[in-house]
Structure 1
Amino acid sequence: MKLFLDYLKSQSVILFGYLLVCIVFITISVLATIEIAYVFLGIEILGFILFIYLIVHWFQYQKLSNVKDDNERLFNENKNLKSEMLNQKDDLNAYFLMWLHQIKTPMTVSKLLLEKPDETTNTKLKMQLMYIEQYINMAMNYLKMIDHSTDMDITQVNLDDIIKNLLKKYSLLFIHNHISLEYQSNLAYVISDSQWLTILIEQILSNALKYTENGKIAIQYLEDKHALEIRDTGIGIRSEDIPKIFDRGYSGFNGRMNEKSSGLGLYLARKISERLNIQIEVESKLSQGSVFRLVFPTNLTKM
């Protein structure tokens, strides 16, 4: 209806002209004493011609309106894509500026260790190489995450296999930081992408190892909550920092206390959790440790 009214407005000049001609015809018939029947006949003929004109131009107007709407839609889509690309570029630049700053730390430490080697140099170098590998993997995974063409392989995933592989990978950090482990193998399966889920769990576990020394890390699957829980006895997180810990580059109080903190790992974890539809719950008290729970969708089975 609105389109039709807009069309009539666009033809207002012609409609007004027709009305003016009708008035002129009637005026002439009165002044010249022309039979009114002829005047009405002329008006009807002009009205019929006007009607045909309006019908023909109505279809043209519809086409032009559709083209205009399509152009406007494409313009807005192009504008949104440009805005998205600029935001993604800004995010990428900001991410890698922080990444470059953070990766220099283990590289500098490695250089210092080689300058003054002792009986512990080999172990310490292995740890620094592990940190460097973490940062490299983090960068590669971030690039894959922002690539919208990257597909996910959703299948049944064994949590026990993922956790055992990660515990083996980080065994050196458990030993070096004197961290005891509490974990019982289970046969919990979830429906997810194995690769991305592994990266997500690794970021949470790595974060627990980073802030725990001479303590304990407990890993368990909570069947009633459909959640994987990673609990540590580390330095904990201030309550005011908890809502921000997944922001890019945010390290908060703990970041100032721990030189290895980058503020990038948990940011990547949040991005992955959103993609996998996994909710991350956090409970923590300063100096008492933290609890991270990965709450899976309910399409989970126990085998």
Structure 2
Amino acid sequence: MLLLFLKERLTWIGFHLFIIVVVNVLFSLDVGLMSISITYVNICMVVSFTVFLLWRYIVEVGQLKDFLGNVDGQLDDVHSKNLDLSPFQDAYFAKIEDVFYVKDMELNKAKVQLQEYTDELLAWVHEVKAPLTSINLMLSQIEDLALRRKLEHEWLRLHLLVDQQLHQTRLASIEKDNYMTEMELRTVVYKEIRAMQPWCLEKGIGFDVAELSEMVMTDGKWLAFIVRQILSNAIKYSPTNADIVIFTEVDVTGAILLHIQDEGIGIRKEDLPRIFQKSYTGTAGRESAQSTGMGLYLAHNVALKIGIRISVQSEAGEGSIFTLRFPLQNEYVKLTGR
């Protein structure tokens, strides 16, 4: 703060030094002043100016702290607080209050518009889900097995896109829409595998699933969404007649790890740091029109909200292993704030 004050009052200091130089020149040129000690005069001037500068430092720093404190706060009426501000600071404060008021109005308007858009989008998604359910029921009546599987695959793609949009819209308010409970991993994983069955049958994808009897503390709905995104990526980028391996282990800290391993095209080294970024499709995504770059981004953000850490090991052409690390008991307590 002292350096800031000295920098702000640099013109004062420069003017005072100029006066000292002028006085010294006058003392050296005017013979009438020869009897007066120039050293004594210089000391008096420097000491008086130093005292004046110190006084202004104490006063102005106090005013600055009051000013900044109210800017950082709620910007209540400066006059009602009886703050000891200078006329310039008072004018600055009034202008800042006006600017903040206008910006608050604009922000509130934007929030209302965003909430209206979110509500409309959620309503649209729920409206779309109704005909999707009806179409799914009609598909079971098609006798041509090959045609039915193709239609079921396309229906599943559409269903996953709608589901992704639904969870993307709800992501901002996930704290209000989660329910942590103890549950068995097998329940979630098997349900998601069954949902992917039409797609897997068309590509000949098989699953090698471990017992998955471990109990974890998590939100079942959001965990299912994370597993769904990882499984859909594994199926999408796996070759035909490949296998996806799902197994668990316990790390050195005692945390449960869920691994999902595929035999797909893998992820290039330069793409790995960015796969969880929004809309990033990577090298593989540029070769597939189906890639949106949103699945892993949403899965990663959901995982952070419920305390799960997602990591990936992959090399181009050698498949990928996605790992979900579930929180320990003490980490869960910090997450919930209990």
**Pair 1:82-2:139 in alignment:** no
- What's the counterpart of residue 49 of structure 2? none
Q: In structure 1, what is the equivalent of residue 81 of structure 2?
A: 63
2:168 corresponds to 1:142: yes
The residue that corresponds to 2:243 in the other structure is 216
Secondary structure at the counterpart of residue 286 of structure 2: helix
Residue 247 of structure 2 aligns to a residue in which SS? Answer: strand
| Matches of 2:170 and 2:59, distance apart in 1 | 47
Matches of 1:132 and 1:179, distance apart in 2 = 20
User: CA shift at 1:229, angstroms?
Assistant: 0.6
Deviation at 1:283, TM superposition (A): 0.8
Greater relative contact order (Cα < 8 A, sep 6+): 1
Q: Where does residue 220 of structure 2 map in the other structure?
A: 194
Which residue is equivalent to 1:6?
Answer: 63
Report how far residue 2 of structure 1 moved: 6.8
Q: CA deviation at 1:150?
A: 2.9
The gaps in structure 2 that reach 5 residues or longer are: 1-57, 65-77, 85-92, 122-143, 331-338
Aligned-partner Cα distance in 1 for 2:220–2:193: 16
Q: Which residue of 2 aligns with 1:163?
A: 189
Cα shift readout 1:170-196 (whole Å, capped 9, x = no counterpart): 122222212221112232111111111
For 1:121-270, list aligned pairs within 5 A: 121-147=147-173, 150-213=176-239, 214-224=241-251, 225-270=255-300
Task: Give 3-state SS (helix, strand or coil) of 2:329's partner.
Answer: coil
Does the 8 Å contact 2:174/2:305 carry over to 1?
Answer: no
Secondary structure of 1:120's counterpart equals helix
Kindly provide the amino acid, as one letter, of the partner of residue 220 in structure 1.
Answer: F
Task: State the secondary structure of the residue aligned to 2:283.
Answer: helix
Structure 1 counterpart of 2:242, one-letter code: G
Hey, what's the Cα distance between the residues in 2 that align with 1:176 and 1:260?
16
Equivalent residue number for residue 29 of structure 2? none
Letter in 1 for 2:206: S
Q: Report deviation, 1:149.
A: 6.7
CA displacement, residues 104-163 of structure 1 (integer Å, 9 cap, x when unaligned): xxxxxxxxxxxxxx8622211110000000001111111111236733211112211001
C-alpha separation between the residues in 2 aligned to 1:199 and 1:188? 19
Partners in 2 of 1:5 and 1:276 — Cα distance? Answer: 45
State the percentage of identical aligned residues.
28
* Counterpart contact for 1:192–1:276, Cα < 8 Å: yes
Give 3-state SS (helix, strand or coil) of 2:176's partner: coil
Aligned partner of residue 217 in structure 1, secondary structure: strand
Cα distance in structure 1, aligned partners of 2:263 and 2:80:
69
- Alpha-carbon distance in structure 1 between the residues aligned to 2:178 and 2:319: 33
Partner residue, 2:323: 293
Partner in structure 2 of residue 275 of structure 1: 305
SS at match of 1:147: helix
Partners in 2 of 1:272 and 1:246 — Cα distance?
Answer: 11
Does the 8 Å contact 2:184/2:212 carry over to 1? no
Per the alignment, residue 3 of structure 2 pairs with none
- Partner in structure 1 of residue 336 of structure 2: none
Q: Distance in 1 between matches of 2:216 and 2:145?
A: 44
Matched ranges for 1:15-94 at <5 A: 63-65=81-83, 75=100, 82=107
The question of whether the paired residues in 2 share the 8 Å contact of 1:190 and 1:299 is answered with no
1:279: Cα distance to partner?
1.1
Q: Distance in 1 between matches of 2:192 and 2:171?
A: 21
CA distance 1:167–1:148, change in 2 (3 Å): closer
Instruction: Report the residue type matching 1:195 in the other structure.
Output: K
What TM-score, normalized to structure 2?
0.57
**Cα deviations across residues 49-72 of structure 1 (Å, max 9, x unaligned)?**
xxxxxxxxxxx9782449x79x96
| Alpha-carbon displacement from aligned partner over 1:192-249 (angstroms, at most 9, x marks no partner) | 1111111111111111111112211100111235211100010111111111111221
Please give the alpha-carbon distance, in whole angstroms, between the structure 2 residues aligned to 1:259 and 1:2. 66
8 Å CA contact 2:265–2:317 kept in 1: the answer is yes
